[in-house]
């Protein structure tokens, strides 16, 4: 499948991935992540269930302390 | 004629309200920029007091040490632009406070320090106040690397910063870089508020 991840086109061998699987493939190991699929917020407890499919737009934001 | 145009923009901005969550390096500097631009009403919230350690980057003065940040910031804003109405809330914001205080604001600025608090307000605004523009500051510790600072847009969520530099003992937050990000946030707020602004002579 081909998705749009943070405004960049990315291809994966799988037909679909959960957010947890996608984050592992992309080596996003941080704790504080905001994730949206097609503009909809995915809460942290839904990362194992939320499915990313071909053509989806995924936004991942890693929050860091400081301000 | 740039004075006239600036005055016109200031008059136009008077009808808007901006919520600022946190009054540290991001919030205090962003609030001052918005007050100078002429935003009519600012809703500020923080539970902290001004300390000596804040003065390296936050918009406070030495003689304000020991005072509540929200009260000191309101005073500083009113010294700059007495036309701005400042609603100051001395509290540690939780989910329900954010909904109560900021639902009626035209734009919300996230200006917290801790990543957990940034997460909390993003989740709250996106799920409880959907469609409300939220401008967040993520990644501004250290110095240099001005070119890595950027704005990124994800529907109503606008992200300013480098998204990577986390504060640590060896990488403090310093005035120039947090000031840049605070002003990037203020700039994004103006960009939203001035979307339909039409100068009278054009």
Tens-place pLDDT, residues B120-165: 999 999 999 999 999 999 999 999 999 999 999 999 999 999 999 9
Half-sphere exposure of B71 (CA within 13 A, CB side): 11
If you measure CA to CA, which chain B residue comes closest to A5?
B154
Interface test with A, best of B69, B138, B161, B182 (most A CBs within 10 A): B138
Cβ within 8 Å, pair A66-B173:
yes
Given a cut of 70, is residue B3 above it in pLDDT?
Answer: yes
B115 → closest Cβ in A7, A41, A64 = A64
A65 → closest Cβ in B123, B163, B167 = B167
Mean pLDDT of A37-51: 96
A4 min Cα distance to partner chain B (Å): 12
- Confidence label for A31 from pLDDT (cuts 50, 70 and 90): confident
Look at residue B202 in the predicted model and tell me its pLDDT: 60
Q: Is A41 on the interface with B (CB under 8 A)?
A: yes
- Confidence label for B199 from pLDDT (cuts 50, 70 and 90): confident
Given a cut of 90, is residue B2 above it in pLDDT?
Answer: no
Whether the CB-CB separation of B138 and B166 falls below 8 Å is answered with: no
Q: Is residue B153 classed as helix, strand or coil in its secondary structure?
A: strand
- Give the separation between CA B136 and CA A63, rounded to whole angstroms: 10
Number of Cβ pairs < 8 A linking chain A and chain B:
73
Given a cut of 80, is residue B109 above it in pLDDT?
Answer: yes
Cβ within 8 Å, pair B159-A36:
no
Given a cut of 80, is residue B1 above it in pLDDT?
Answer: no
Tell whether domain A2-62 is in CATH 3.10.20.30.
Answer: yes
Average pLDDT, chain B: 97
DSSP B40-107: SEEEEEE--B--GGGGGTSS--GGGTTSBHHHHHHHHHHHH-TTSEEEEEES---HHHHHHHHTTSSE
Half-sphere exposure of B123 (CA within 13 A, CB side): 18
Q: Is residue B198 classed as helix, strand or coil in its secondary structure?
A: coil
- Give the separation between CA B14 and CA A4, rounded to whole angstroms: 39
Q: Which domains does chain B have, with CATH numbers?
A: 2-193 (3.40.50.720)
- Confidence label for A29 from pLDDT (cuts 50, 70 and 90): confident
Instruction: Please list the alpha-helical segments (H only) found in chain A.
Output: 19-25
Q: Is residue A28 classed as helix, strand or coil in its secondary structure?
A: coil
- Give the separation between CA B88 and CA A34, rounded to whole angstroms: 29
If you measure CA to CA, which chain A residue comes closest to B139?
A64
Whether the CB-CB separation of B176 and B143 falls below 8 Å is answered with: yes
CB < 8 Å to B138, chain A: 61-64
Which pLDDT tens digit goes with each residue over B13-28? 999 999 999 999 999 9
Furthest CA-CA distance within chain B: 53
Q: Is A32 on the interface with B (CB under 8 A)?
A: yes
Six token digits for residue A13: 């061998």
What are the residue boundaries of the structural domains of chain A, listed by start?
2-62
- Confidence label for B44 from pLDDT (cuts 50, 70 and 90): very high
Q: Could you tell me which residues come within 8 angstroms of residue B62 by beta carbon, excluding any fewer than 6 positions away?
A: B52, B55
- Give the separation between CA B72 and CA B75, rounded to whole angstroms: 5
């Amino acid at each position: 499948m081909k998705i749009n991840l943070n405004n960049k086109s990315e291809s994966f061998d799988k037909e679909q991935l959960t957010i947890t699987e996608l984050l592992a493939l992309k080596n996003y190991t941080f704790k504080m992540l905001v994730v949206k699929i097609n503009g909809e917020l995915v809460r942290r407890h839904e990362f194992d269930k939320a499915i990313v499919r071909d053509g989806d737009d995924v936004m991942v934001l890693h929050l860091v302390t400081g301000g | 004629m740039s004075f006239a145009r600036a005055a016109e923009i200031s008059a136009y901005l008077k009808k808007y309200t901006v919520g600022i969550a946190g009054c540290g390096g991001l919030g205090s500097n962003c609030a001052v920029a918005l007050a100078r631009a002429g935003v009519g009403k600012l809703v500020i919230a923080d539970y902290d007091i001004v300390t000596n350690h804040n003065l390296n980057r936050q918009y406070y003065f030495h003689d304000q040490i020991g005072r509540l940040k929200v009260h000191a910031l309101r005073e500083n804003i009113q010294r700059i632009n007495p036309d701005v109405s400042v609603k100051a809330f001395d509290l540690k914001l939780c989910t329900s406070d954010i909904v109560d205080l900021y639902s009626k604001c035209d734009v919300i600025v996230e200006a917290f320090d801790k990543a957990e608090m940034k997460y909390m307000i993003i989740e709250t605004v996106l799920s409880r106040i959907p469609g409300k523009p939220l401008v967040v500051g993520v990644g501004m510790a250290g110095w240099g690397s001005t070119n890595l600072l950027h704005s990124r847009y994800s529907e109503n969520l606008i992200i300013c910063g480098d998204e990577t530099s986390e504060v640590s003992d060896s990488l403090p937050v310093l005035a120039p870089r947090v000031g840049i990000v605070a002003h990037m946030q203020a700039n994004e707020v103006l960009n939203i508020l001035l979307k339909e602004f039409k100068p009278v002579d054009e």
